[in-house]
Amino acid sequence: MHSPNAIPSPTMSYSSITTEVDPLIERRSDSSLTRVSSTSTSHSERHSDYNDVVRDIIIGFADGLTVPFALCAGLSTLGDTRLVVMGGLAELFSGAISMGLGAYLAASTEKDHYHSEEAREWDEVTHKPEAERQEIYDILAQYHISHKAATPLVNELCKNPEMWVRFMMHFELKLECPETSRAWLSALTMGMSYFIGGLIPMIPYFMMKRAGDALLVSVVITALILLAFGYVKTVVTVHSRSAGVWGALQTLLIGALAAGASYGIVRALDSGSRQP
C-alpha cells in the first residue's frame, strides 16, 4: 500500500506473532534481542530474522496487490488483454525494482543517519559532559524519577562513555542502529512479494481473451485475497478478531477505490477521445 509504516518494527512483530509463548518468556527474549550480535544464531535471533522476512513480505504484498490490480482494471476498459498484460507487467517490474532498491537505499541512509548522530553524541559527551549529564536526569524525569533516585545511575553511566552514548542514542534520540547486513535480502524479499502480489490479479488477463471477462475474474480473486490478507495482517498486529474484520474491510476498500478510480479515468478519457 505504498505506506511508510504498514507494519511496526521487527521487535514489535516478534512480540505480536509469538502469542502462544508465555508473555514473560517472550518479553525476556525480546529485550535480549538488542544484545545478541548480528552473526549470532541464537534462538531469539533466528526468530527476529524470521519476522523481518514476514514483515517484508507483508509490505511488498500489500502494495503489489493494490496498484497493479487497479491499473489492469483501468486498462481493461480499452478491451485489449494484450495491452493490459503489457501495461501490467511494465508496472509490476518497475514497481518491484523501485520498492526493493528503494528499501535498500533507505536502510543504508538510515545507517548513515545513525552514525552521524552517534558521532555528534560522542562529541557532546566528550565536550559538554555536564549538559549531557543533565539530559539523563531530564529523560528520567519524564517518568517522574526524582533527582535523588536517579543520581547513582547517572554517576555509574557517566563513568562509561560507550554505554553513555548508547543510552543517549536509545533513550534521548530513540534511534536503534539499523542492521544493513541483511538489507539486500530484505530488498529482494520485498521486491519479490510486490511482484507476486501484483501478478495474481493479472493471471486472468493472461488466460482469457475478452478483457471484460478477465476483469470480472480478476476482481473476484483480488477481493477475496485482499479480505483474507487484511484480516491476517491486522490480527497478527492487534491480537483482536473484531479488529481483523475491520482491517479486512478497510484493505478491501482501498483496493476497490484505487481500482474504481483507475477504471473510471481510463473509461472517461477513452470515451472522450472517441467522440467526434
Sites for a copy of itself among residues 215-274 (CB under 8 A): 233-234, 237-240, 243, 247, 250-251, 253-255, 257-259, 261-263, 265-266, 269-270, 273
Q: Does the protein bind a copy of itself through residue 150 (CB under 8 A)?
A: yes
| Length of the chain, in residues | 276
Q: Does the protein bind a copy of itself through residue 142 (CB under 8 A)?
A: yes
Reported as type and span, the H/E element at residue 227 is: helix 211-238
Options 36, 53, 54, 139; binder of a copy of itself; rule CB under 8 A: 139
Options 79, 163, 206, 212; binder of a copy of itself; rule CB under 8 A: 163
10-17 vs 211-238: helix crossing angle, rounded to 10: 80
Considering beta carbons, is residue 146 or 210 the nearer one to a copy of itself? Answer: 146
Which of 89, 56, 92 is closest to 190 using CA atoms?
56
Considering beta carbons, is residue 40 or 151 the nearer one to a copy of itself? Answer: 151
Q: From the CB of 271, what's the least distance to a copy of itself, in Å? A: 11
Number of residues located near a copy of itself, criterion CB under 8 A: 116
What is d(CA 129, CA 252) in angstroms, rounded to the nearest whole number? Answer: 54
| C-alpha cell belonging to residue 97 | 525494482
Q: From the CB of 193, what's the least distance to a copy of itself, in Å? A: 11
Which range touches a copy of itself (CB under 8 A), out of 46-54, 75-83, 198-206, 215-223?
75-83
Q: Does the protein bind a copy of itself through residue 31 (CB under 8 A)?
A: yes
Which of 15, 54, 17, 18 is closest to 33 using CA atoms?
15
Q: From the CB of 46, what's the least distance to a copy of itself, in Å? A: 20
Q: Does the protein bind a copy of itself through residue 15 (CB under 8 A)?
A: yes
43-76 vs 23-32: helix crossing angle, rounded to 10: 90
Q: Does the protein bind a copy of itself through residue 174 (CB under 8 A)?
A: yes
Torsion of CA 95, 99, 102, 107, to 10 degrees: 180
Interaction residues for a copy of itself, span 97-136 (CB under 8 A): 97-99, 101-103, 105-107, 109-110, 112-113, 116-117, 120, 124, 128, 131, 135
Whose cell is 476497490? That residue is: 256
Q: CB-based contacts of 180: which residues, under 8 Å, 6+ apart? A: 107, 108, 111
What is d(CA 131, CA 126) in angstroms, rounded to the nearest whole number? Answer: 11
Which range touches a copy of itself (CB under 8 A), out of 40-48, 172-180, 199-207, 216-224?
172-180
What DSSP designation does 79 have? S
